[in-house]
Amino acid sequence: EAGVAQSPRYKIIEKRQSVAFWCNPISGHATLYWYQQILGQGPKLLIQFQNNGVVDDSQLPKDRFSAERLKGVDSTLKIQPAKLEDSAVYLCASSFTQGHEQYFGPGTRLTVT
């Protein structure tokens, strides 16, 4: 069974630029999560989708971050414009449904200079 795929794996941008990350969850998984892991901290949930609907985006900085999962499969996370403090690893995870074990992708390491 293929795992959670993410791209790109690494990205370096300047502050005020835009960036987008892509995630392809495990086939058949209804729930998709985006986490932000800043160096020295644990992963923090940014947004959770159930199929193509948002379940929780309480910790998503909506003035600059957006995410979508239009067809209930792939998802993109966008930052516009990026700030220095957005430098982090962005992890995507999926689960069969809410409350089930989450499977993680390898993450995208973003550096904002």
Partner 1 sequence: ILNVEQSPQSLHVQEGDSTNFTCSFPSSNFYALHWYRWETAKSPEALFVMTLNGDEKKKGRISATLNTKEGYSYLYIKGSQPEDSATYLCAFFTGGGNKLTFGTGTQLKVEL
Region 60-89 residues binding partner 1, contact defined as CB under 8 A: none
Check residue 96 for interaction with partner 1 (CB under 8 A): no
Nearer to partner 1, 7 or 102 (CB): 102
Which region, left, alpha or beta, applies to residue 58 given φ > 0 means left and ψ of -120 to 50 means alpha?
alpha
Cα separation, 90 vs 71, whole angstroms: 21
Check residue 101 for interaction with partner 1 (CB under 8 A): yes
Check residue 94 for interaction with partner 1 (CB under 8 A): no
8-state DSSP, 41: S
Region 41-60 residues binding partner 1, contact defined as CB under 8 A: 41-45, 48, 55-56
Beta strands in 2-113 (DSSP E): 5-7, 10-13, 19-24, 31-37, 44-50, 53-56, 65-68, 75-79, 88-95, 103-104, 108-112
Check residue 103 for interaction with partner 1 (CB under 8 A): yes
**Residues at the site binding partner 1, with contacts judged by CB under 8 A:** 3-4, 9, 35, 40-45, 48, 55-56, 91, 98-99, 101-107
